[in-house]
Chains A and B, each alone.
Chain A
Amino acid sequence: MSEPAYRLLDCGDRALTVELGRAVDPVINAQVVALDEAIRGAGRPGLLETVPTYRSLLVLYDPDRLPRADLVALIATHWPPPVTRAGAVRRWRVPVLYGGEHGADLASLAAAAGLSEAEVIGLHAGCDYRVHMIGFAPGFAYLGGLDPRIHASRRTDPRPRIPAGSVSIGGNQTGVSPPLELPSGWQLIGQTPARSYDPARAEPFLFAAGDLIRFEPIGHAAFDAMSAAALAGETVATMERIDG
């Protein structure tokens, strides 16, 4: 046998982490998402919840209904997972009002990068990002694929509260905040009227690990109109299914 493809790490008596790697890597993340789908798809009683992250899958289980040995066998059965999915992949188009009071760090980030604000916006909105995981806060999407020219270190002085729906950059990642005022040390470049999380909506969450996101710059008028629509329960961000 070759190198083991994954490590099983116990997290107490009711959870296991399946670690596929230790780095942020789109290939590893795609395997995490595929393994997650395969294991959940098996529909085994006692498999309580899974949490896909950058490079590992946390599996919560009830050892009385799904003994640990059976869970280990279930994971082995589904390895390697089919990374090229037969179904569709989801791509979101997420409107963003960049800069000004909606993205308080855009000007300084552009200056530090030796770019104009328009160039930063062009780079940020110019490609698809992959949702590596949802974490930290309800619906907060960690996105991979940021252009190296606009990587930016975290603030030395984190903000105790950032505006709802902030679009921000932290290191080599970018992210979309839910409509909650969260603490953050990331650089704020814009704000989306879309509510990635709304517990009162029939579908409380927009994004899931494995989705693609593309940002679309909008102006103030569109931002205000979309914000009102989003508050009324509209999704605002649009989603299309593309072949995997």
Chain B
Amino acid sequence: MAEGLRILAPGVATTLQDAGRQVYLRYGISGSGAMDPDLLALANALVGNPADAAAIEMAMLGPTLVCEAEGCRVALAGAPFAMGLNGRALDPFTAHDLRRGDRLTFGAPRQGLRAWLAVAGGFAVAPMLGSVSTHTRTLLGGLDGHSLAAGDLLPLHAPRPTGRSLTLPPAHRPRFGGPIRVVLGPQADSFTEEGLRTFLSASYTLTGRADRMGCHLDGPPIAHADGFNIVSDGIVNGSIQVPGHGRPLILLADRHTTGGYPKIATVISADLGRLAQVRPGETIRFEAVTVEAAQSLARGARRTLAARLAALVPAGGLDLDSAFLLSCNLIDGVVSASPTGSAA
């Protein structure tokens, strides 16, 4: 019998995601991948996986899972979802060991929107076009290209946990919020001066039309200088299109690769993760920065991730099940640096 995690209830938009697809944009294949690669890396580090191993991405309302393996180790990084093991509350940003029959539940996050649940050793799911990332619109990745559904079994590579489990001390955990910084262009000249001022000064509210493909914003319309059709060109993660109605649409991981509306700006890579935590109904403001500043901020974000990974410590206290710990081989307490398998 396959060893794995069984989905009892899927939550709202629960998918498998890794670092995404590369080199196929030119063929119309969306990049997909975790909406915050740094938090994917953090969740993976907590269970000893490579940074880009596939994890369960959850949004808004998380799944309920049952462990159908001899044992496995999981960790959640991202928005603070209510998380429970057989009804007992669990700490996020901490690795937890599950035994056969354990029920892992996720509610809604107190703040933010998305989180990543990594499993030690990764999921034994075959990549499609180089990635396990689920792209539901084209049925790529995941289990047959679909969001996770009740009854699905996610097979595991190496279910048995080894070594001490890790935690990220609260002082190092991410906080969300703040302005979303952008680089203006590539078609900023398709808008009037007034339109650009509106874009950079107004507050925009995320509408209910917000998913992994993109989020539609509501707020003051942005004036185009000269119509709103361009000859289709390439779109990146974070491209902000402004269709004829003047309200921005931010294209994200699951976007089309090309599009024909002018793009007023691009969200900088360092802020895509924070944007992924904005909920429908919440407002954002845009702040323009230069390309050089954006590249410097990206380096800063990588330093922050490195600092978080360096801050991981063995989970302290006595909240671990000591009988279970004794059943594991803890003689040397070494965390495995080379999991036996990775879905990446």
Contacts and interface: CB of A to CB of B under 8 A. Distances in A.
Nearest to A23: B231
A23 B304 CA distance: 43
A93 interface: no
A100 interface: no
A138 B138 CA distance: 8
- Which of A9, A14, A17, A68 neighbours the largest number of chain B CB atoms within 10 Å of its CB? A14
B269 interface: yes
Interface in A130-159: 133-140, 142
A19 B233 CA distance: 9
A54 interface: yes
A15 to B, nearest CB: 5
A12 B258 contact: no
Given A11-B185, A180-B138, A60 B28 contact: no
Interface in A108-138: 133-138
A180 B22 CA distance: 21
Contact of B232 (A10, A12, A57, A133): A133
A56 B234 contact: yes
Contacts of A89: none
Nearest to B145: A199
A49 B22 CA distance: 7
A29 B129 CA distance: 27
Interface residues of A, number: 44
Nearest to B140: A199
B202 interface: no
A17 B270 CA distance: 20
- Which of A23, A24, A136, A208 neighbours the largest number of chain B CB atoms within 10 Å of its CB? A136
B232 A64 contact: no
On chain B, which size bracket covers the interface?
35 or more
Interface in B126-142: 128-129, 138-140
Contact of B256 (A12, A136, A205): A136
Contacts of A14: 236, 269, 298
Given A10-B266, A53-B258, A133-B258, A199 B186 contact: no
Contacts, number: 132
Contact of A137 (B25, B28, B185, B230): B28
B212 to A, nearest CB: 16
A142 B299 CA distance: 38
Interface string A15-41: 101010011100000000000000000
Interface in B24-38: 24-29
A58 interface: yes
B49 interface: no
B183 A136 contact: no
A9 B258 contact: no
B234 A134 contact: no
Interface string B314-326: 0000000000000
B44 interface: no
B258 A135 contact: yes
B23 interface: yes
Contacts of A184: none
B261 to A, nearest CB: 13
B233 A54 contact: yes
A204 B26 contact: no
Contact of B257 (A11, A12, A135, A208): A135
B116 to A, nearest CB: 21
B295 A58 contact: no
Nearest to B302: A64
Contact of B234 (A48, A58, A64, A199): A58
B50 interface: no
Nearest to B238: A12
Nearest to A15: B236
Nearest to B139: A180
A133 B232 CA distance: 9
A52 interface: yes
B263 A51 contact: no
A53 B234 CA distance: 7
Given A15-B236, A17-B186, 10 more contacts: A10-B185, A11-B186, A12-B266, A13-B270, A55-B231, A133-B232, A133-B258, A135-B28, A135-B258, A199-B140
10 contacts: A11-B234, A12-B183, A14-B298, A17-B186, A48-B22, A58-B236, A133-B232, A135-B28, A199-B129, A209-B26
Which 4 A-B residue pairings sit nearest by Cβ, starting from the closest? A58-B234, A135-B258, A12-B266, A9-B186
Interface of B: 22-29, 128-129, 138-140, 182-183, 185-187, 230-236, 238-239, 256-258, 263, 266-270, 291, 294-295, 297-299
